[in-house]
Amino acid sequence: MRFDHPWLLLVGLAIAGVLAWAYVAAERRVTERDLLYSNVQFLASAIGERAWISRLLRGTFIAALVLAAIAVGGPHVRLPLPSGDGVVFICIDTSGSMASTDVSPTRAAAARAAAAAFIDESASGTRIGVIAFAGNAVIVSPLTANHAQVKAALESIPPPNGATAIGDALQLAETELPPGGHRAIVLITDGVNNTGVDPLAVAEDLGAHHVPVYTIGIGTPNGDIIGGAQSTIDEGALQQYAAVSGGAYSRAENAVQLRDALARLGRATSIRMRDVAASFAFAIAAAAGFAATMLVGLMTGRIP
């Protein structure tokens, strides 16, 4: 939390301290007045029953004073709020290993379905683009806020074939992203890079420019034999890409896990930490505290 007028906050807290002392002093005078009752047994019983009310009123009044002092200081708080200016590229692996059936019906089909779930869960103003990559990387759908158009473009993703150029996909996304704003890249792959530029170097550069890469590892360690080689998953590499860029890694061994992971990520990438002025909220809370103290004090005969 930061304050526009920290000196006013200090003044407000000092005044709150004085008023709190005055409240306690007034409460003592009420107690001394009550001692004039002749029936000591009745007085002791009444004081015992109302002790918790006095403590509650005192606490509420002091809390309201502190809230009022904070409101005067011009507080700002950082809150996670929906972002209407988000930009996300989804990079989908279409290499030969994505034909593996260890994720039903295939890794490739599950990836397309999960990408659709990501689009469905993204905020309406988020611009989304799709990049498919195998031996090289191509834009399947340019950045657009028309989510129906992006989902339709998923059907034109090439079938699984060829090598895996993860670095080329990340580099292409980086060149197409705007120079600023709330940006992110979602990478769906089995993570076994075998051609093109170094994906770790690109991920590090993305991190330096505040573009997180969220990696989704799809598949099991023992996938099908594709092109004479077993389809596996390189979790270590995917964790590295996420770590150096400020993103996060998730693994999915089946279509349901993959869809759930992408749906959660769609919601997460639509959230942005924003600096929000909170003076009005603190003032309302303080007013509510004063009103409650006054009302309960009048009802119980205590000094508000």
Quick one: pLDDT at residue 51?
63
- Tell whether 117 and 53 lie within a shared domain: no
Quick one: pLDDT at residue 124?
84
What span, in angstroms and rounded, lies between the C-alpha atoms of 57 and 289? Answer: 9
Quick one: pLDDT at residue 275?
66
Average pLDDT, integer, range 43-65: 66
Cα dihedral sign for 223, 105, 151, 126? negative
- Tell whether 91 and 173 lie within a shared domain: yes
Please say if the pLDDT value at position 64 is more than 90.
no
Q: Which residues contact 32 (CB under 8 A, 6 or more apart)?
A: none
| Closest to 167 measured CA to CA, from 143, 189, 145, 141 | 189
Percent residues over pLDDT 90 in the chain? 35
Average pLDDT, integer, range 124-148: 94
- Tell whether 51 and 68 lie within a shared domain: yes
- Tell whether 15 and 154 lie within a shared domain: no
- Tell whether 18 and 87 lie within a shared domain: no
What's the chain's average pLDDT?
81
- Which has the higher per-residue pLDDT, 85 or 219? 219
Please say if the pLDDT value at position 109 is more than 80.
yes
* In contact, 270 and 128? CB cutoff 8 Å: no
- Tell whether 18 and 88 lie within a shared domain: no
Please say if the pLDDT value at position 241 is more than 90.
yes
- Tell whether 92 and 42 lie within a shared domain: no
Percent residues over pLDDT 70 in the chain? 78
What span, in angstroms and rounded, lies between the C-alpha atoms of 39 and 20? Answer: 31
Average pLDDT, integer, range 211-221: 88
The domain in which residue 14 lies consists of 2-74+278-300
Helical axes 107-121 vs 255-268, angle rounded to 10°: 30
- Tell whether 96 and 245 lie within a shared domain: yes
- Tell whether 123 and 152 lie within a shared domain: yes
What span, in angstroms and rounded, lies between the C-alpha atoms of 55 and 128? Answer: 55
What span, in angstroms and rounded, lies between the C-alpha atoms of 236 and 203? Answer: 14
What span, in angstroms and rounded, lies between the C-alpha atoms of 216 and 251? Answer: 6
Quick one: pLDDT at residue 265?
81
CATH number of the domain residue 116 falls in: 3.40.50.410
Please say if the pLDDT value at position 294 is more than 70.
yes
Tokens 């028309």 label which residue? 146
Long-range contacts of 136-143 (CB under 8 A, 24+ apart): 136/165, 136/168, 136/196, 137/91, 137/165, 137/168, 137/169, 137/171, 137/172, 137/196, 138/172, 139/172, 139/176, 140/92, 142/176, 143/87, 143/89, 143/176, 143/177
Quick one: pLDDT at residue 149?
95
* The CA-based dihedral angle spanning residues 180, 181, 187, 191, taken in that order and rounded to the nearest 10 degrees: 50
In the chain, the number of structural domains is 2
CB neighbours of residue 282 within 10 Å: 20
Quick one: pLDDT at residue 93?
94
- Which has the higher per-residue pLDDT, 105 or 269? 105
What span, in angstroms and rounded, lies between the C-alpha atoms of 89 and 120? Answer: 14
| Closest to 160 measured CA to CA, from 107, 196, 199 | 107
- Tell whether 103 and 62 lie within a shared domain: no
Q: What are the structure tokens assigned to 297, written together? A: 């004090």
- Confidence grade of residue 146 (pLDDT, cut at 50, 70, 90): very high
- Which has the higher per-residue pLDDT, 228 or 133? 133
- Which has the higher per-residue pLDDT, 60 or 119? 119
- Confidence grade of residue 289 (pLDDT, cut at 50, 70, 90): confident
Please say if the pLDDT value at position 259 is more than 80.
yes
- Tell whether 115 and 8 lie within a shared domain: no
The DSSP code for 158 is P
- Which has the higher per-residue pLDDT, 132 or 86? 132
Q: What ranges in the chain are assigned the alpha helix state H?
A: 6-34, 40-72, 107-121, 147-153, 166-176, 199-208, 235-245, 255-268, 279-300
- Tell whether 268 and 127 lie within a shared domain: yes
- Confidence grade of residue 304 (pLDDT, cut at 50, 70, 90): very low
| Closest to 223 measured CA to CA, from 93, 91, 104 | 104
What span, in angstroms and rounded, lies between the C-alpha atoms of 271 and 254? Answer: 27
